[in-house]
Amino acid sequence: MKRALTSIVFFGILIGIWEFAARSGKFSQVMFPPPSNVAEYIWQAVEDGSLASATFVTLKRLLVGYSVGLLLGIPLGLFTAKFKIFQDTIGVLALGMQALPSVCWVPLALGWFGQTEMAMLFVVVMGTLWSVIIATSDGVRSMPPIYLRAAKTMGSSGLHTWGYVILPASLPYLVGGMKQGWAFAWRSLMAAEIFVVILTGFGLGQLLQYGRDLHAMDQVMAVMIVLIVIGLLTDKLLFAPWERFLHRRWGTGNLK
Amino acid sequence: MSVESELKNAAAERIEVDGISKSFTTKHRVVLALDRVSLKVSEGEFVCLVGPSGCGKSTLLNIIAGLEHPDAGRVSANGIPVSEPGRDRMVMFQEHALFPWLDVMHNVLFGLKLKPGLTNKERREVAEYYLQLVGLEKFHHANVHELSGGMKQRVALARALAPNPRVLLMDEPFASLDALTREQLYGDMQEIWQARRKTIIFVTHNVREAACLGDRVVLFSPNPGRIRKEFSINLPRPRDINSVELAHYSSEITASLKGFTAAQGQEASE
């Protein structure tokens, strides 16, 4: 309760300073709008539904691409850890691809698929896939072999061992990789949406770019705030429960 | 199958080790870990394998468990050749090897869930019984990292006992514990063995521990790993690790251990 209050007071002061500075007359209010204008824009965009529809389009692209990335990445990561042939092919490829900022895929994706959902999907998958493959295979390979021996003596083998021993044992790595994959996918999707007009849907990135075209910095800032809120919410909803579970079970994360 | 019949003691198994050899190749040379080792362990017997590091006693245990394969010779359990791990032979390792992603109860349930013929409710009751047997009935929902070293090994013991194996293979299970905890576990171990009547093969390098727990102590010597001598411990149970009678046995065993390590030193210098 006290900590929540600390945060609220901090942000209250921050917004206060911003409002005061923007209204001081030293800056152009068009280029540096006060938070009250930004709030006004948000209110109006919520009312006319443009914010909700843009958020929906962006989140759909992100979730679909991210799910595809996980569904491909986790099995490929397991294969990479298990089979030498995968390690020497997919493993090396993943290592190289992960070094490439995924926004670099945007020009190619547009060339291949045009200004379509397919291009967006491709970019998001490329952002997610490689770090998930690497995290999964690292997780499997750093598992203490004693777990496997213990599981074997209790009658576990084959798919049961993969599902009930190897995968959960690699969870700390896997969750880290999933977070990284999410971050890469999110950033590259935004870049792509700002970069080009996608004809099949009007996302948050486009709303932001549209604000720039109109010289409406209150709109630009409003979209940025929405992006921050979405980032925080996914962290709280998607990853925080997993991390709490890991910390509780493994006894990590407590530095006190 | 009911919980009652599941909790009934499984008939202990006879283990026969016949002419086992096993070598390992390191970077520089080939080490003969076991050289034509033969050993008979009868039903319900508690046998301790003692010897210095590198004498192959843990390797032998792994071979009996089916986790490793010998180069020559064979192991049989009740006359049936052992080639892979089986639920009749459960293993307890030096490291607890508990799964950190499961709580205490689910660690004990892990092996039980793989055992057919039981309902989930029955499995739970069986797990509860064994957690009570090792004195951890209040820790069902504890996480592994919250337990002390001794408690972790108790959970590992409950997990190994839960599928009701006929043989328990223990590889220095108390080596990483402090002396006080260890002494308490010696008492508990004897009680549990008398209650559950398993065949137990127990690997240790602690001579007193071996004399305290075993019906028989089998001495190994290294390079190559061979059985050198056997001692029958004719003391009533429960035994106190600090008793004079036990000290008599352990000094006798230690003397012969020293005897053949000295002889070996001489061989090496010749």
Task: Quote the ipTM score.
Answer: 0.90
**Residue B201 is inside which H or E element, if any?**
strand B199-204
Distances (CA, A) of B80 to A108, A217, B77, B83, B115: 64, 81, 5, 9, 20
pLDDT of residue A145: 93
Residue labelled with tokens 């900022």: A101
pLDDT at B265: 59
pLDDT score for B1 = 59
Count of positions (residues) in chain A: 256
Please provide the DSSP assignment of B203-230 as one string: EES-HHHHHHH-SEEEEEETTTTEEEEE
Q: For all residues of chain B together, what is the average pLDDT?
A: 91
CA B191, B151, B104, A168 dihedral sign is negative
The CA distance from A191 to B162, in Å, is 56
**A-chain residues within 8 Å CB-CB of B103?**
249
* Interchain pair A156, B114: CB under 8 A: yes
Which residue ranges of chain B lie beneath pLDDT 70?
1, 261-270
Beta carbons of A215 and A28 less than 8 angstroms apart = no
- Residue A59: CA count within 13 A, CB half-sphere: 13
Task: Give A249's contacts in chain B (Cβ within 8 Å).
Answer: 100-103, 143-145
Provide the pLDDT for residue A255.
62
Per-residue pLDDT, B264: 65
Q: What is the pLDDT of residue B223?
A: 83
Cβ B188 vs Cβ B135: under 8 Å: yes
* Whether B110 and A151 lie within 8 Å, measured CB to CB: yes
Dist. CA B48–CA B50, nearest whole Å? 6
Is-contact A175 A144, C-beta < 8 A?
no
Closest residue of B to A146, CA-based? B97
Nearest CA in chain A to B108: A154
Q: How far apart are CA A39 and CA A12, in angstroms?
A: 14
Contact state of A153 with B99 under an 8 Å Cβ cutoff:
no
Residues of A in contact with B97 (CB under 8 A): 146-147, 149-150
Task: Tell me the residue type at A144.
Answer: P
Say whether residue A147 is in contact with chain B using an 8 A CB cutoff: yes
* Record: contact B87-A248, CB cut-off 8 A: no
pLDDT per residue as tens digits for the range A194-232: 888 888 889 999 999 999 999 899 999 999 999 999 999
Domain spans of chain B, in order of start: 3-269
- Using CA atoms, how far residue A10 sits from A16, A68, A223, A231, B57, in Å, is 10, 39, 22, 20, 64
Q: How far is A195 from chain B (nearest CA, A)?
A: 43
According to the model, what pLDDT value does residue B270 have? 45
Predicted local confidence at residue B113, as pLDDT = 95
Specify the DSSP class assigned to residue A163: I
Tokens for B85, please give them: 């791990």
How, if at all, do strands B199-204 and B167-171 pair?
parallel
In the predicted model, what is the mean pLDDT of chain A? 92
pLDDT at B207: 93
Give the rounded percent of residues in chain B with a pLDDT score beyond 90.
71
The 8-class DSSP code of residue B103 comes to B
Per-residue DSSP letters for A120-157? HHHHHHHHHHHHHHHHHHHHHHTS-HHHHHHHHHTT--
Q: Which of B108, B138, B137 is nearest to B124 (CA)?
A: B108
> pTM score > 0.80 for this model?
yes
Query: Which chain B residues are Cβ-neighbours of A160 within 8 angstroms?
Result: 114
Query: How far, in Å, are A41, A53, A194 from residue A46 at the CA level?
Result: 8, 9, 21
Domain B3-269 class, CATH top level:
alpha beta
Whether residue B235 contacts residue B75, with contact meaning beta carbons closer than 8 Å, is answered with: no
Residue-level pLDDT at B267: 55
Residues 34-73 (A) with a CB less than 8 A from some CB of B: none
pLDDT grade for A138, boundaries at 50, 70 and 90: very high
CATH number of the domain at A54-250, please?
Answer: 1.10.3720.10
pLDDT score at A39: 94
What SS3 class is residue B20?
A: strand
Residue in this structure with the two tokens 């009934």, named with its chain if needed: B8
For B74, list phi and psi in degrees, rounded to 5.
-145, 155
Peptide bond before residue B224 is cis, with ω within 30 degrees of 0: yes
Query: Please, which pLDDT band fits residue A252 given cuts at 50, 70 and 90?
Result: confident
- The DSSP annotation for A36-100 comes to HHHHHHHHHHHHTSHHHHHHHHHHHHHHHHHHHHHHHHHHHHHHHHH-HHHIIIIIHHHHHHHHS
* Closest residue to A168, CB basis, from B89, B101, B143: B101
In this structure, are residues B110 and B102 in contact, taking their beta carbons and an 8 Å threshold? yes
Backbone angles phi, psi at A132, to 5 degrees: -70, -40
**Shortest CB distance from A150 goes to which of B93, B103, B144?**
B93
Residues 6+ apart with CB under 8 A from B259: none
B85-B36-B66 Cα angle (round to 5): 5
Query: Of the candidates A144, A154, A249, which has its C-beta nearest B163's C-beta?
Result: A154
Cα distance from B87 to chain A (closest Cα, Å)? 6
